[in-house]
A and B are shown apart, each in its own frame.
Chain A
Amino acid sequence: MTRKQKRLSIIAGLGLVIALAAILIFTALSDKITFFYSPSELQEDPIAVGQAFRLGGLVQEDSWVKEGEYNIFYITDNALAVKVIYKQILPDLFREGQGVIAEGSLDAEGVFIATNVLAKHDENYIPKEVVDTLKERGEWKEDEQGDDY
């Protein structure tokens, strides 16, 4: 091989690896992302059973019951509500009436089986996605936000 051919083959090899990596990244991106839905959006644009997504809203007042190690509660956007079952320990700051995001999928009866309920790190924190959807639906009250501290 001449010097030039050598150089070309090295560059081609590196280019190939980068191209493969790019393909990997973009297929994974179209395949592995999860979408965020509020209960109303779920009604308008239903999701297949078993398809993973994130459900966000407020924990409906007086809806949280514990049956053994199962937590059952409703997530609402003040228009519609979705029943959620979660067999894990809820985050410390999980409260009725507060914002929450649950990850998981729907079962055949339309119940959301959560694999994870996102923990909040702050008393007054409401997930940004939840604030946005509530604002879009005109359900947002400024006083819900509270101070930063």
Chain B
Amino acid sequence: MLIELGHFALILAFVIAIIQAVLGLIYWRSDVRIANFVRSAAIWQFILISFSFMSVVYAFVVSDFSLSLAYQHSYSLQPLIYKITAVWGNHEGSILLWVLILVLFSAAVAVFGRDLPRQLRTLVLAVQGILGAAFMGFSIFTSNPFARLDPAPFEGTDLNPILQDIGLAIHPPLLYLGYVGFSVCFSFAIAALISGKIDAAWARWVRPWTVVSWVFLTLGNAMGSYWAYYELGWGGWWFWDPVENSSFMPWLVGTALMHSAIVMEKRNALKIWTIFLAIMTFSLSLLGAFLVRSGILTSVHTFASDPTRGLVLLALLGVSIGAAFTIFAIRAPSLRAGGLFAPISREGALVLNNLFLATATAAILVGTLYPLILDALMGARISVGAPFFDLTFGVLMVPLLIVLPFGAFLGWKRADLIAVTQRLAGAAGLALLIAIVIFMLTGAEIRLAPLGVFLGFWVAFGSMADLIYRSKFGKIALGESLKRLFGLSKSIWSTALAHFGVGVTVIGIVIVSAWESENITTMKVGESVDLAGYSIKFTVADERQGPNYTISHFEFDVMAKNGKVRQVVSEKRVYMASSMPTTEAGILTYGFSQLYVAVGDADEEGVQVVRIWHKPYILLIWIGTLFMAGAGFLSLSNRKARVGVPKQAKAKRAKAKVNKSKAKTNKGSA
């Protein structure tokens, strides 16, 4: 019964979304009542979809296998957390989660966007309504999560064991919050194009939404990478898999958008470009959804390959991107281009940032789509793999990373490059010193790696240099400097921290790529093997029992250089319902480095294949992303950039209200 109510709530929300979109688009200019209706419609959709979503969650939690979805993806012995996460560990449920987050953002615009100009808000919500209706329709007509089975089976068929991990509770919701969050930027862009009002204020309103979405997308991608690293047992953290690319592209363009919106806000320039990026970011999110969910690709992310769903998604993608760019093409030329500016300036540096991020995205887009297009047109079977992406993306990132520390130092309008270079000399010298030391320690045979390390430290130190310079360390008393340091504005801190995070991630990527070592060998219990200064002894091999799987359990004692011994457990599991095996790698963390132990098959005499990696400084990759995300949150806590911050001061608004009510009473009396 609850399930049917949930289904009904989804259909009701679908109808409301259509009405909201139609009324909003027709009457955005005129009517206050329509504006109010559109706002409450957005909030009601969120309430309805939440109920709808919870009804499915409930069926999973109580193992109601009469719900077809629960039968297919759950199992009564599954731990509770995986029963809940199994709701979105499949095609239908993940679309429902997507819809839930979409209406969450619409409701957030309705609630926090109180102080947006009425017409803009109505238009934004109307566009959100179109997107909502499209995805609710997709769910209702092609991917119904509420289908029942009669008679109800006694037992479910289990969630894909690879997905039975805490990662499923974190990675998809974060990623969707990022993906779908950019829909708000998209809607703001379309609304601006329709109303023709595109100014610095628009950029100020849209920026917090960009930052929120970007923070979630950053965390979602980082979490996905770490999950793949520890769960898949291959020891890699990024594969340039088309699915990864399709969530990385919106991140890159979203990063560009975040920076160009600053130029638009401060200098009233790059307007057309910023609008273009706002449309592009969400379009790439949609493209990602299409690639992942249509079944074109084969991956753990593609749950079902029903051709009609793929076609409907392609149509959805084509219509929304096509319509958006048509409006863009019609309206963009009528926008007044912003003023020119000097190449050596903050805005000049941000243009370079955008240029390199956009071309890097283009490179990834070409590499991702080329095999698909070639296959569709000529039936040629090729694949574009890591060598292509490493080369193109790597080459395009080098100039970006070189320029990055300058950017934050340069002033708006026009800046003195020589003075900035002098201020950055310390950071450059320090980074160079570290690179030279590494070069000497490791020998000259790895030539690119010290350069990469230099770039990473250059970005990390260069970002900190801004803070040090601004708080005048060494020029005034230390206490005074510290006071200044903590008094610096949140926007300066968040810029420095985010860029510092980029540096940290680069350092991690370069070090682990250049200096990781591995050993694949066969071992019997009692034998030892050495790797990167660690001695790994195989101690235990036995069979055990998990809640819904059986375990081949292996223990190793790892002795570090300092003689300390730690134990690590590596497992192979076979899940009962699906009889599918998985590998649970054993990971030991030493500082920022990790030792990774995966066990393969045994031969007849019980000799076990063991694969051990030493991953130096690998944790820096994800720690850097935490800095970036943290910086994003910090910038959001800045009162000046908060979501839906009032345009006018409170007093002024109160006055305006009084005036309004006066006007009303005047009307009444007249």
Contact = CB atoms under 8 A, between A and B. Distances in A.
Interface of A: 3, 6-7, 10, 13-14, 17-18, 21, 24-25, 28-29, 32-36, 54, 66, 68-69, 87-90, 92-93, 103, 119, 121-123, 125, 127-129, 132, 148-149
B362 A89 contact: no
B300 A148 contact: no
B567 interface: no
A34 B162 CA distance: 28
Contacts, number: 109
B609 interface: yes
A128 B371 CA distance: 13
Nearest to A123: B580
A121 B520 contact: no
Among A17, A66, A92, A125, the most chain B Cβ lie within 10 Å of the Cβ of A92
B582 interface: yes
| Chain A contact surface mostly | mixed
25 contacts: A13-B343, A17-B356, A18-B359, A21-B359, A21-B362, A28-B392, A29-B367, A29-B384, A34-B385, A35-B382, A66-B603, A69-B521, A88-B520, A89-B583, A89-B598, A89-B599, A89-B601, A90-B600, A92-B582, A103-B385, A122-B160, A123-B580, A129-B381, A148-B304, A149-B157
Name the residue in A32, A93, A125 with the highest tally of chain B Cβ atoms < 10 Å from its Cβ.
A32
Which interface residue of A24, A25, A123, A148 has the most chain B CB atoms within 10 A? A25
Interface string B64-78: 000000001000000
Contacts of B392: 24-25, 28
Given A29-B370, A92-B581, A119 B232 contact: yes
Nearest to B602: A66
Given A69-B521, A119-B234, A148-B305, A88 B384 contact: no
- Across chains A and B, which 4 residue pairs bring their CB atoms closest together, nearest first? A89-B600, A36-B381, A32-B388, A21-B359
Interface of B: 72, 157, 160, 162, 232-234, 298-300, 304-305, 340, 343, 351, 355-356, 359, 362-363, 366-367, 370-371, 379, 381-385, 387-388, 391-392, 395-396, 520-522, 572, 578, 580-583, 598-601, 603, 609, 611
A128 B372 CA distance: 12
A28 B392 CA distance: 7
Nearest to B581: A92
Contacts of B598: 89
Contacts of A34: 382-385
A54 B363 CA distance: 22
A10 B162 contact: no
A109 B639 CA distance: 69
Given A66-B601, A69-B521, A10 B383 contact: no
A89 B299 contact: no
B361 to A, nearest CB: 11
A87 B598 CA distance: 14
A127 B298 contact: yes
Contacts of B382: 33-36
Contacts of B391: 24, 28, 32
A69 B603 CA distance: 10
Contacts of B72: 149
Given A33-B384, A103-B385, 9 more contacts: A18-B355, A24-B391, A25-B363, A29-B388, A32-B385, A33-B385, A90-B600, A128-B298, A148-B305
B71 to A, nearest CB: 10
Q: Which of B157, B340, B396, B609 has the most CB of A within 10 A?
A: B609
B109 to A, nearest CB: 34
Contacts of A18: 355, 359
A13 B160 CA distance: 51
Nearest to A126: B298
Contacts of A119: 232, 234
A14 B355 contact: yes
A93 B359 contact: no
Nearest to B73: A149
Contacts of A14: 351, 355
Nearest to B385: A34
B181 to A, nearest CB: 28
Contacts of A21: 359, 362-363, 396
Contacts of A128: 298
B347 to A, nearest CB: 11
Contacts of A148: 304-305
A111 B611 CA distance: 24
Nearest to A67: B603
A148 B303 CA distance: 9
A17 B520 contact: no
Contact of A87 (B304, B362, B370, B520): B520
A108 B652 CA distance: 82
A133 B385 CA distance: 21
Contacts of B162: 121
